[in-house]
Homo-oligomer: A and B are copies of this chain.
Amino acid sequence: MLLIETKNELSSHLSSILGNKLLGLVPTMGALHEGHASLIKKAVSENDVVVVTIFVNPTQFDNKEDLKKYPKTLEADQQLIHGVSRAIIIFAPSVEEIYRNDVQSKSYDFGGLENVMEGAFRDEHFDGVGTIVSSLLKIVRPRRAYFGEKDFQQLQIIRKLVEIENLDVTIVGCPIVREANGLAMSSRNERLPKALRQKASFIYDTLLAAKEKFGTKSANTIEDWVTKQFDKHPAFKLEYISITDVERLLPVRKKQQNKKYRAFIAVYANEVRLIDNIALN
């Protein structure tokens, strides 16, 4: 037993016996772009060892055609990761390695977070997300795990998952990375024809305008306004626009001073489904 009286003595003793290394995890489905690169860079800057997982999780696709079409670009992904740091460990398991021969989701109660927006339009999507993220956190056991705010609802659900399962990990949310024209980075952007990809700046521009209006207009008024803007642009088919608080993701009845709000949007451009969101206050 050791009795220590000064901070310096304590600190040097602890570092001599602990020698801990921090482990960070960046879970991805591959098809990496600059948005992923920003998560990986942040993980590298905050941890001693970083694992990037590449796994296209079948249980989070309600649309089996979408799963089939999901791009697989392992060679390019390795190069992008390599560009951030050569020390990164890539974990790219097979479906069998993760699910054995039982490719199914667990069923989760995320307190309602799973029923709105993406949850309403993508059946059992978040059960699939919860299942794979829970598995990966238990396999890798990182100190911190990094997720993009582009999938903000997913981010909040993963925070809830960690709470429900009492996992010993810090979930780090990272800002959306955008293309030069404002379109949120997404692996799906590659599937857009060039002209349409350029025009898709319209989605972010509309969110920025919604944010501008949030100081003076009601959430309903803004949602109606956004809907009308999309009615005028048939190249983009609006699936939903929803202004909610960031904690429960419930529609705004009356704005409260101490609450944070976001606008969430899902849009089809041709057959390609795009999502985006923005902090309003």
Tell me the A residues contacting B by CB distance below 8 Å. Answer: 1-7, 10-11, 13-14, 17-21, 23, 49, 51, 78, 81-82, 85-94, 97, 139-141, 143, 168, 170
Contact = CB atoms under 8 A, between A and B. Distances in A.
Nearest to A17: B49
Contacts of A19: 19, 21
B92 A1 contact: no
Question: What 7 A-B pairs come out closest when comparing CB atoms?
Answer: A3-B90, A20-B20, A18-B21, A2-B89, A1-B86, A4-B91, A7-B139
A interface secondary structure, majority: mixed
A173 to B, nearest CB: 12
Nearest to A23: B18
Nearest to A52: B1
A86 B90 CA distance: 41
A4 B168 contact: no
25 contacts: A1-B78, A1-B81, A1-B82, A1-B87, A1-B90, A3-B78, A3-B90, A3-B92, A4-B91, A5-B91, A5-B93, A5-B97, A6-B93, A7-B97, A10-B140, A13-B89, A14-B23, A14-B51, A14-B141, A17-B21, A18-B21, A19-B19, A20-B20, A20-B23, A168-B170
Nearest to A21: B18
A86 B1 CA distance: 5
A18 to B, nearest CB: 5
Contacts of A21: 17-20
A4 B93 CA distance: 7
Contacts of A17: 21, 49
